[in-house]
Structure 1
């Protein structure tokens, strides 16, 4: 209930309750505004940091700096390139095993899952409302002017990451954290894919409708599982594949039956489909790479700090090289309401990231994706409540399929856990 009331209040504050936003298709933009050109330029900006960093890492490893290095720079190089654990030391247990070390009761596990789900829903339902407002509406038109639309998706990514870095840094500074063991450069992989997925998410709203974007996000469960096999060599049970398919089918039924009339079908373009495909690929890699990094026994906030540190480095470097940082600052000065929306967007993103890392650490990437998939259905349900769209019979069946799949997944995981405990019982307990 709290997850739907907060975005509803926000919608009224932002003044978007009365009508759907107009289509945001850039029909006559110059060549420099073409999304593929911007994407390549952004990648080139990241490359000016990635390439020298890659060459330095290769150099230090080739020189066997871990054994021969000395001096003031040695601790920093050791932490960034080699980490605080020996190269030959294998992680004690995979992250999935670490999540079950404490062996919480079913009630504790359920409450923890409920906490994660509620935090993610509140943060990202609100964030979704703000995202659509910033990317699909003009600023300045209410004062009688023509109004202008903010177009730099990368600046919004930077705003989100700088606040998340600050929050994570302060938390790490004032609380006791585990001894950090991962080489710092490994965060850059998740950071780069996270930046690109966020950029794709913002950019896609210029070409396609919000319901279409939500529908694409709702189908991520299977790509995440496939990426888990590729990145972490994970194995999944048949029931995990079955429930993933059921969730995708159920959410798709709901979205297709209830979100189709928001905009004209012509808004959906080939560019939008390509950008959304990029989002799904990058986002699937991000969650699985973070899941694999948790084997170093780091905390969720340490993960958040490491990923956002590189994200800020990449985005601010690229923005400065393009001169976009100054232009974005000028836009904020011209339109204080945009500054407020962008700041609030960053707050939602920062708290959302805390819940993301905590959920992935405790339950894994696939469970996190299920929660976020359910959020897509709630986002459309919220739209139905605000704008009076009726929930059709097909949509109701879709929701029933989703909740059935979630119930089956929880039931199957419980059975597997009980089987594992029985198998681990010592012989002395089993003999009678």
Structure 2
């Protein structure tokens, strides 16, 4: 007869500690995925108190339990123990599991507190917070005689650790976790250390399923709203926005919703496109790639090709928007004056150059660092305003710049250290190089925004350029520039040029000089990435419509507020969607950055209100 308890009775605690094996069951949230049951043996478990059970999770080829515990909104776990001698009994412990991976401070603190000695191959400690206990008869469970625990697994990882300590870095546990434990069989993110190590060293994950249900590049099941639906919603929002131009508040809601939907989608697809390893034949991987790919993986690294498609779609959507909003008195469609062509061309050039440096940095820094740094555009904008136009700022704005800079620095410094020998000098140099690339990208961003402000602020010189005109014109120019680059570079002898500068010691990556052909070949090898590329470009093009519509109708202050909160949500969504985690120091850095940007937006709002009040007072006096 079954009996249930809210916690483990003392009599069962003693019985549990006497058992020599147990089973662990977990399941993903999706009904399309697979339930997992794992047998556990050895003296590697215990009971902390009547509501807490723990066990040491040893390394194996599978890693389903961690994936299910890490899945947002999941964490369900069941422990089952059964008597094979003596009185029959089955005990089940239901609860929520919490994983502490080996190499983290949390793991070390728990092991020290409870006097747990980790053995070679220990992957994590799983703590089960129990909310229900069940005891049943077990009358049909057969008798078995216990002969002893198998030592094969322990011996294997002892040998592996000995090889690693002798200097063979390929035998490190983080590399093993990266290859076999980074993803579950359903494509859910599993070992966090494995994921980080795999990204740092471009270690391809092992294939765990075959047949039509096998996930493709660990991307089959992601849950949430499908990308196609989000883009469809954004398209409908554009139509709705045009139809509701006479209703300001409704249009603002549509614009905000459109910016969020399109650019959150855009950010998720950007991270997926640039960080997903794709399996290929070893001969297809370029040895001179900026990302140190493993022998059987390659990455999508064609930023000019990607941005050309996005610029073309943005030009088309911007032109359609201009045509829809055009009136008989609206003047020239694209440019109000030919004098605006030169500064708009500068915007197109800087906009075109910024993106490749940003994408290149993703080979050396993680996506969260990338997003946070890209949120700090006010730094180069202020610097260039001071340098080029001798503009002066109040002291408060310099404090904001300091806070934002400190936030980025803290976020980078408090990045979780790699385990084993992952945190090497080369890895640190790689991160610094990535930050340098990000800095160059931000510099171009700053020049882009500064020039745009100059164009908008000089109507007598350049004519009154509207935001939609800016969007259409700059994207057209960018598309022409990048298309020219893609078509010309295969015929330019860059190899000869660089070798002449370096006495023949430098070669140029064929993916750089033949980016168009390389990108097309990549899409032919991995056709499924085409959907992500098109989704990314469509989301970016439509997102620009919402941005320029917001700028044109509601001003830069509203736009800054919306984009700042959108970037915050991008970081949060990246953490949740891809199963990442931030340290306390990193959260402090995030707080400094967005706190500084938010303060800047508040100051701008106060300045605008003061100007409007003074203007109103002057109008009263004149009356």
Q: TM-score normalized by structure 2?
A: 0.46
1:80-108 C-alpha deviation (Å, 9 max, x unpaired): xxxxxxxxxxxxxxxxxxxxxxxxxxxx7
| Match of residue 271, structure 2, among 129, 132, 135 | 132
How far, CA to CA, are the matches of 1:424 and 1:16 in structure 2?
A: 58
SS in 2 for 1:23: helix
RMSD over aligned CA atoms reads 4.1
CA contact (8 A) 1:221 1:370 kept: no
Q: Which residue of 1 aligns with 2:368?
A: 211
Residue in structure 2 matched with residue 338 of structure 1 by the alignment: 529
**Cα distance per residue 1:91-150 (max 9 Å; x no partner):** xxxxxxxxxxxxxxxxx79995x76665444333322222222222233559xx945333
What is aligned with 1:289?
Answer: 451
Q: Does 1:163 align with 2:313?
A: yes
Q: Cα distance 1:272–1:403, how it changes in 2: closer, same or farther (>3 A)? A: closer
Q: Distance in 1 between matches of 2:548 and 2:519?
A: 29
> CA-to-partner distance for each residue in 1:209-258, whole Å, 9 max, x for gaps?
2233234324332222222334555443443443444455456656765x
Output aligned runs, 1:45-84, within 5 Å. Answer: none
Asked if residue 153 in structure 1 is aligned to residue 315 in structure 2, the reply is no
1:23 alignment partner, one of 199, 202, 212: 199
Measure, in 1, the Cα distance between the counterparts of 2:402 and 2:562: 14
Describe the superposition over 1:311-341 as per-residue Cα deviations: whole angstroms up to 9, x where unpaired: 1111111111124323322332332212111
Higher strand share: 2
SS of structure 1 residue aligned to 2:528 = helix
Change (3 A) 1:233 1:344: farther
Q: Which residue does the alignment assign to 1:353?
A: 544
Residue equivalent to 2:104: none
Larger CA Rg, structure 1 vs 2: 2
1:187 to 329, 344, 348: 344
How far residue 279 of structure 1 moved from its aligned partner, in angstroms, is 0.2
Tell me, what secondary structure is at the counterpart of 2:299?
coil
Give 1:214-253 correspondences, 5 Å limit: 214-231=371-388, 233-249=390-406
Equivalence for 1:175: 325
SS at match of 2:312: helix
- Equivalent pairs counted in the alignment come to 336
Work out whether residues 135 and 205 of structure 1, in 8 Å CA contact, stay in contact via their aligned partners in 2: yes
Would you say the 8 A contact 2:352–2:478 is kept in 1?
Answer: yes
Alignment match of 2:576 (pick from 371, 385, 396): 385
Deviation, structure 1 residue 349: 1.5
Q: 1:404: how far off?
A: 5.4
Higher mean C-alpha displacement, 279-288 vs 232-241:
232-241
Q: Matches of residues 299-314 of structure 1 in structure 2 within 5 Å? A: 299-314=466-481
| Cα shift at 1:196 | 0.6
SS of aligned partner of 1:212: helix
Render the CA deviation track for 1:382-430: whole Å, top value 9, x for unaligned.
2333455566555565566566556644554444334323433466845
Q: Aligned runs of 1:354-369 on 2, under 5 Å? A: 354-358=545-549, 363-364=555-556
CA deviation digits over 1:173-214, x for unaligned, max 9? 333164242323431100000011111111211233223323
Between the aligned partners of 1:340 and 1:213, the Cα distance in structure 2 is: 23
* Contact kept in structure 2, 1:243 and 1:409, CA below 8 Å: yes
Q: Could you tell me whether the CA contact under 8 Å between 1:25 and 1:206 is conserved in 2?
A: no
Unaligned runs of 5+ in 2: 1-71, 73-183, 204-247, 285-295, 491-513
Provide the residue aligned with 1:202 in structure 2.
359
Cα shift readout 1:320-369 (whole Å, capped 9, x = no counterpart): 112432332233233221211111110121123224434555544x8866
Aligned counterparts of 1:260 and 1:412: Cα–Cα separation in 2? 34
Tell me how far apart the structure 2 counterparts of residues 219 and 409 of structure 1 sit (CA, whole Å): 11
Which structure has greater helix proportion? 1
Q: Contact 1:131/1:202 (CA < 8 Å) preserved in 2?
A: no
Partner Cα separation in structure 2 for residue 121 and residue 216 of structure 1:
19
Deviations 1:257-313 (A, max 9, x none): 5x5468955163443233212101001111121222224323222111110111111
Does structure 2 conserve the Cα–Cα contact (< 8 Å) formed by 1:219 and 1:373? no
What's the TM-score, normalizing by structure 1?
A: 0.64
Please state if 1:280 is matched with 2:280.
Answer: no
CA spacing shift, 1:192–1:408, aligned 2, 3 Å: closer
Aligned to 2:139: none
1:96 paired residue number? none
- The 2-side partners of 1:236 and 1:414 are apart by 16
- Specify whether residues 173 and 416 from structure 1 end up closer, same or farther in structure 2 by C-alpha distance, changes over 3 A only: closer
Taking a change above 3 Å as real, the CA distance of residues 318 and 254 of structure 1, as seen in their structure-2 partners, is: closer
Structure of higher RCO (CA pairs closer than 8 Å, 6+ residues apart): 1
Q: Is the 8 A contact 1:304 1:357 kept in 2?
A: yes
Between the aligned partners of 1:395 and 1:151, the Cα distance in structure 2 is 28
